[in-house]
Structure 1
């Protein structure tokens, strides 16, 4: 049954609109945005800082709603996403679209008026990148979708940084690059154990199009490439040793967990423990890495005083 045929079944409530914002994903978006804001040199009024993070959350939520509006039929065909509000008919597609547009537009407008227009422009780019470039153009057309599309989730720490400083320097670019390089091994680890879902709806994710062997090799390659990028903020003098040591240790752990994923040649049934372990660690990795960035920002001056 199509999504359109089921859209009058159930009444919506606020929880359905909240679900459109992908709250689990938004948790990481908000956290990295806060870390970018706190790690930036200088200071920002707490109320303005809260406003900046709220705008980041609204922009992320709005683009997620637009993503689900566009992919409602695809979500209906995937076990992992079939219980979302649009596939189950709890929301009309046009309501999701209007909600996404309104939330996104409000986030950019408030950011520009309350914070600065450079941060607002980057936020607008992030929304367009995810809702249009990734969702509409890249995802259904190329197995490199998540590689190029990784930029969509890499903007929050840059936006948080620019909200404080008002300019783009090497440090926020490196924070962007870390998440950009982290995204492929993080997402492909997930794609390996849900590839049937993507195959069923014709999405050309790497494991479906290029096969598991190529995907596993690229997971290890991107994990290795992540190491110098993650440590680069320390190398350029943008952070102290607290961050540098944490970044090196965490990323080496990432590589170690990627090795058994890359070297596996046969998988029996659904027992993909190395893949699931890497996926779980990849989430913890980003929280810990950006947490170390903030800890370094506040502890290093105290240690050198």
Structure 2
């Protein structure tokens, strides 16, 4: 006799399966948090002042806790939407391994703890920026922007752009142009990065009723905008060098990495997809975009220490 297909229980079910620590860890979106921690650390290390290692570790820990808390609140709010998308059905809430109240309380506890510790141990300017980043992602992006406008990623990109700014400010206790440029680089990197993903999971977003750009404006418009942002990213990434904040190591690396990013965005923008191409251009761009940000910020730190030592 044919067995009926298994359907995951709804996120709001009354009797969830047993929860363990891995489900709480999954709520923090560890893959995303890796990039958050790395860019935050690079912002801290690239700052022109030296911070006590214990305070530096505390600042990065708070950035990680804040990002994890915001991610948990995001999944608490979007549990029913996640249940409709293949990409997210295995998360703790849509899979029925956790109740929504636990996820909400966990997210709020992490968020509050991160801001409080940052303020007490480091300083309150960094704590204020951390609080703004959490609210921006958990409220402005998740609750307001994402379900209402196809520009959700453009405006909401600010949420993911905060870590290097917070790291820099944690070290210097000051907001200057350089950390704002680091913020801007991630802000303009986010749309082509995320829209490349959205292009090959478009049906998921359409099924869940989320107005992502490919769903609302169509693939052609989305592809053109991916290319436009890639064009803008190239001079922006090199701007810290042109303004004299970094050395040639960062400058030439930024131009090379951004040039390759643009080269991968061209076939996405012009829709040069070969029939039966398993590795579509947007998948190649999405994969490289993650490497791009890691490499760019790693070079930023190397530029400060290596070139500074040589000078």
Change (3 A) 1:267 1:81: farther
1:21 is matched with: 28
SS at match of 1:4: coil
Alignment of 1:91-130 (within 5 A): 91-130=98-137
Q: CA deviation at 1:298?
A: 0.1
> Per-residue displacement from partner, 1:214-273 (whole Å, max 9, x unpaired)?
000000000000111100111111111110110010000000000011111667578352
Match of 1:4 among 1, 9, 12: 12
Task: Establish whether residue 205 from structure 1 lines up as the match of residue 209 from structure 2.
Answer: no
1:133 partnered with 2:140: yes
Report what 2:5 is aligned to.
none
TM-score (norm 2): 0.95
How do residues 92-241 of structure 1 correspond to structure 2 at under 5 angstroms? 92-241=99-248
Distance 1:96 1:107 in 2: 17
Q: Is the 8 A contact 2:148 2:211 kept in 1?
A: yes
Runs (4 or more) in structure 1 with deviation over 3 Å come to: 265-272
Q: Deviations over 1:26-58 (max 9, x none)?
A: 000000000000000110111110000000000
State the Cα distance separating 1:122 from its structure 2 match.
Answer: 0.3
Alpha-carbon RMSD across the aligned residues, in angstroms, is 1.2
CA distance in 1, matches of 2:102, 2:277: 37
Match of 2:91 among 70, 84, 94: 84
| Uncovered stretches (5+) of structure 2, i.e. residues with no partner | 1-8
TM-score (normalised: structure 1): 0.97
Change (3 A) 1:270 1:69: farther
Farther off after superposition, 228-237 or 61-70: 228-237
Whole-angstrom distance in 2 between the partners of 1:187 and 1:81: 15
Cα distance between partner residues in 1 of 2:118 and 2:104: 21
